[in-house]
């Protein structure tokens, strides 16, 4: 079985390169029945292209919570041992 270099494994992942964002807010409407909600337009530039996302505040708060959980799990002792093993 051929040995796999850690760099070969990570080359298969899509990597972040840049991000652009803007906040869109509707300033006026013909009918004021609907409440105005701000929305964020996020453009991610990755190694496999450009991805445009649209999200409201609740969606972004959910993504933030998920990223915080991911970061916490990456700091766990088990994960640190795993990364030390890969780097060898």
Task: For the chain, report the end-to-end CA distance as a whole number of angstroms.
Answer: 18
Structural domain containing residue 28? 6-87
Q: How far is residue 63's CA from residue 25's CA, in Å, rounded to a whole number?
A: 21
Q: Which of these, 63, 44, 41, 64, lies nearest to 54 by C-alpha position?
A: 41
Supply the pLDDT for residue 33.
64
pTM of the model: 0.57
In tens digits, what is the pLDDT along the chain, a chain of 88 residues? 455 555 666 667 888 899 999 999 877 666 666 667 789 999 999 999 999 999 998 999 999 999 899 888 877 777 777 767 676 5
- Give the count of domains, the chain: 1
* pLDDT score recorded for residue 1: 47
Whether 45 is covered by a domain: the verdict is yes
Strand 16-24 to 49-56 pairing: unpaired
- Answer whether residue 51 is part of any domain: yes
> Whose CA is closest to 25, among 38, 8, 42?
38
């Amino acid at each position: 079985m051929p040995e796999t270099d850690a760099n070969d494994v990570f080359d298969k992942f899509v990597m972040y390169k840049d991000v652009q964002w803007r906040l869109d807010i509707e300033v006026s409407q013909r009918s004021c029945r609907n409440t105005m909600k701000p929305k964020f337009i996020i453009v991610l530039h990755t190694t496999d292209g450009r991805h445009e996302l649209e999200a409201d505040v609740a969606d972004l708060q959910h993504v933030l919570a998920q990223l915080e959980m991911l970061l916490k799990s990456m700091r766990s002792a088990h994960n640190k041992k795993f990364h030390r093993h890969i780097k060898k």
